[in-house]
């Protein structure tokens, strides 16, 4: 059993997804079943991380075909950490999902909805766990196709077009990845990532491999919403059902970032990506612009959900900035932000989900004075907001601190100043919401609202408290992130 | 005449750019999906072309034959074709639902309706 954990990690949600179609008539049963599967997957991810914590690498040969000939699942601290983030968020979002999904999705579609959710989950876990380049492409598409369906389930008709646009952009991204993998296969005759890393140095001074690198970099950047390739993201997050936004914002872009790291550091090697090719000089300006411009755009949004979506683009910028330093410290900051931002953003979107549940929308004008009627929900939102800004004693502070250290360590002191300045932009957009929710009068004609049900509040608060907990007790995230960074810098 | 030997790859480049251009330039959602299909098909041809060995035969063991074409890219592309079909299906399903909701599949008309909605609320 324990030997087959890597396979179970993906197979469990993948096989559970079609079973849900037998439960179309019993939405609550479908929910309970999905919850059980999500928690079992989380348990598997935790066991895997525990096994590789000391630096061990688990290699799992699918169907007994030894790598590099068969498909290999390969778990080290880097992807075990990413697996834990995905599985953890999907486990915590499930208790929240029950009421939220029941309200936002037609009851005869709920089982289909959870089926798509498990497929998306399986796809994302598969991307993270696999050690095979073509497998990454396939899992990318599994998770992407399921996500398009999930986003299109939003109540607003604009969800349909945002899903369609995401489909077009996402497919271009994954097809670029496919072309890049083809070029690499052409030159090396292998698809196994570890094997590729071994064979690439011989042929890497060719145009073909440089073209492969370029296609993979652009394709994956589209999937991770690197500025200016982020155009699909704000609409998709805004109009998707609340639970989908929570899940995707915390996991989908994070996994794409992991793939970028894997290719840049493990497969091509840091020396090639950042030494021979100037990826640091390409990524850094994009990251800086990607932090600055979406943060400014976020300030002018009238819909809070959309505002947070733009903030997500900015947060991707912070993660890419850490990568562009090409140092162990910078990578630690990036890996750490993968974790901390997942928790923080999920808490914020959950709080918004609770507000949608009670008042039906997240336009700022409708949220006037809402904190008086929904004090617990708004308090969780404020905690998440503080962590997003990077106030001390929150998880967000830890990442900003490591990013600052990494910037100073590499001698980029203007970037350190820039980081502090852009945190102020986050203060502005979070404050706008706080000001409206706490200090405005509730309009006289506004419907009477009560606090969100406990089933929505508990997961929201779990994550809000987690973002404080991991700001004080940093052994798990910092330990995992620094181990992961060391492994990545060391190559495969 | 060396470029003629790379004929397949030229076809791939032309198809890829055609598909990519259609995806970007067309405002009609169905045409966008058609463009996306052409774009993906070019990649399929690329994979199949790189597996061909001059004078090679199908990879079935026969006495006296030493040169075989590589079967692996074919298998990969079978998977990629399935993925492409699934994507097309989801894309078309979305186009149908968009038509139900807006009465149009032209991007500019849909955007105009959305802007009008935004002004009315």
Q: Please indicate, yes or no, if residue A460 is contained in any of the structural domains.
A: yes
Q: Does B9 touch chain A (CB under 8 A)?
A: no
- Most B CBs within 10 Å, among A171, A188, A240, A365, to test the B interface: A171
- The pLDDT value given to residue A204: 82
The partner residues of A303 in beta bridges, in order of sequence, read A363
Q: B44 or B64: which carries more pLDDT confidence?
A: B44
- The pLDDT value given to residue A194: 87
Instruction: List, as ranges, residues 49-68 from B with C-beta within 8 Å of A.
Output: 50
Q: What is the dihedral of CA A199, A200, A204, A207, to 10 degrees?
A: 100
B91 to chain A: closest CA residue: A164
Task: For chain A, give the number of residues.
Answer: 492
Q: Give the CATH number of the domain where residue B48 resides.
A: 1.10.287.3510
- The pLDDT value given to residue A177: 94
Contact A134 B76 (CB under 8 A): yes
- Residue A453 CA to residue A96 CA, distance in Å, equals 10
Q: Please indicate, yes or no, if residue A355 is contained in any of the structural domains.
A: yes
- Residue A19 CA to residue A111 CA, distance in Å, equals 10
- The pLDDT value given to residue A477: 87
B109 to chain A: closest CA residue: A161
- Residue A17 CA to residue A136 CA, distance in Å, equals 20
For A106-129, letters b (16+ CB in 10 Å) and e give eeeebbbbbbbbbbbbbbbbbbbb
Q: Please indicate, yes or no, if residue A251 is contained in any of the structural domains.
A: no
Is B44 a residue whose pLDDT tops 60? Answer: yes
Enumerate residue ranges in chain A where pLDDT < 50. none
Check residue B106 and report its DSSP letter: B
Structural domain span for residue B22: 2-55+64-120
Structural domain span for residue A305: 278-492
CA A368-A374-A379 angle, 5° bins: 95
B27 to chain A: closest CA residue: A165
Give B64→chain A minimum CA distance, Å.
Answer: 25
Instruction: Show which residues on chain A lie within 8 Å of chain B, measured between beta carbons.
Output: 134, 137-138, 141, 145, 148-149, 152, 157-158, 160-161, 163-164, 167-168, 171-172, 175, 178-179, 182, 185-186
What is the number of structural domains in chain B? 1
Prior bond of B38 cis (ω within 30°) = no
What is the number of structural domains in chain A? 1
- Residue A295 CA to residue A208 CA, distance in Å, equals 37
């Amino acid at each position: 059993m324990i030997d087959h954990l890597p396979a179970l990690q993906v197979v469990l949600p993948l096989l559970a997804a079609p079973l849900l179609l037998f439960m179309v008539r019993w939405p609550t049963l479908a929910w309970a079943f999905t919850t059980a599967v999500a928690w079992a997957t989380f348990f598997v991810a935790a066991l895997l991380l525990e096994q590789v914590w000391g630096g061990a690498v688990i290699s799992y040969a699918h169907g007994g075909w030894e790598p590099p000939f068969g498909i290999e699942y390969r778990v080290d601290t880097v992807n075990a950490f990413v697996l834990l983030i995905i599985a953890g968020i999907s486990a915590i979002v499930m208790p929240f999902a029950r009421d939220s999904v029941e309200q936002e999705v037609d009851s005869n579609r709920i089982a289909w909805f959870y089926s798509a959710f498990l497929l998306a989950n399986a796809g994302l876990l598969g991307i993270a766990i696999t050690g095979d380049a073509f497998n990454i492409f396939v899992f990318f598409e599994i998770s992407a196709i399921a996500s398009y369906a999930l986003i299109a389930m939003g109540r607003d008709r604009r969800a349909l077009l945002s899903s369609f646009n995401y489909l077009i952009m996402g497919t271009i991204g994954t097809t670029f990845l496919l072309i890049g993998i083809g070029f690499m296969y052409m030159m090396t005759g292998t698809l196994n990532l570890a094997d590729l890393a071994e064979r690439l140095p011989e042929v890497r001074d060719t145009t073909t491999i440089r073209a492969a690198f370029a296609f993979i970099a652009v394709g994956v950047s589209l999937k991770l919403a690197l500025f200016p390739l982020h155009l699909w993201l704000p609409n998709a997050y805004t109009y998707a059902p609340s639970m989908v936004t929570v899940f995707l914002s915390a996991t989908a872009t994070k996994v794409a970032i992991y793939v970028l790291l894997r290719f840049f550091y493990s497969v091509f090697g840091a020396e090639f990506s950042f030494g021979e090719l100037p990826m640091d000089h390409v990524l850094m300006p994009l990251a800086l612009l990607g932090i600055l411009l979406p943060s400014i755009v976020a300030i002018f949004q009238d819909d809070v959900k959309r505002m947070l979506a733009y903030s997500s683009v900015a947060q991707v910028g912070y993660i890419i900035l850490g990568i562009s330093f090409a140092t162990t410290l910078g990578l630690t900051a990036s890996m750490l932000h993968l974790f901390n931002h997942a928790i923080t953003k999920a808490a914020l979107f959950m709080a918004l989900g609770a507000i949608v549940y009670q008042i039906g929308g997240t336009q700022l004008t409708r949220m006037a004075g809402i904190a008086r009627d929904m004090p617990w929900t708004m308090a969780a939102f404020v905690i998440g907001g503080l962590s997003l800004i990077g106030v001390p004693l929150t998880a967000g502070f830890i990442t900003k601190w490591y990013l600052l250290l990494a910037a100073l360590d590499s001698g980029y002191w203007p970037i350190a100043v820039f980081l502090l300045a852009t945190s102020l932009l986050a203060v502005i957009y979070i404050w706008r919401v706080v000001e409206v929710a706490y200090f405005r009068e509730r309009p006289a004609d506004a419907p009477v609202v009560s606090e969100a049900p406990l089933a929505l509040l508990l997961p929201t608060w779990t994550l809000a408290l987690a973002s404080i907990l991991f700001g004080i007790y940093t052994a798990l995230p910092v330990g995992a992130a620094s181990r992961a960074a060391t492994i990545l810098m060391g190559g495969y | 005449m060396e470029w003629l030997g790379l004929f397949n790859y030229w076809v791939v480049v032309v198809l890829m750019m055609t598909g990519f251009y259609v995806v970007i330039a067309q405002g009609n959602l169905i045409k966008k999906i058609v463009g996306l299909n052409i774009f993906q098909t070019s990649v399929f041809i690329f994979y199949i072309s790189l597996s061909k060995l001059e004078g090679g035969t199908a990879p079935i063991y026969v006495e006296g034959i030493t040169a075989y074409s590589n079967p692996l890219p074919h298998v990969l592309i079978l998977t990629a074709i399935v993925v492409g079909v699934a994507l097309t299906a989801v894309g078309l399903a979305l186009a149908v639902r968009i038509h139900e909701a807006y009465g149009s599949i032209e991007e500019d008309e849909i955007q105009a309706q959305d802007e009008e909605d935004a002004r009315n609320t």
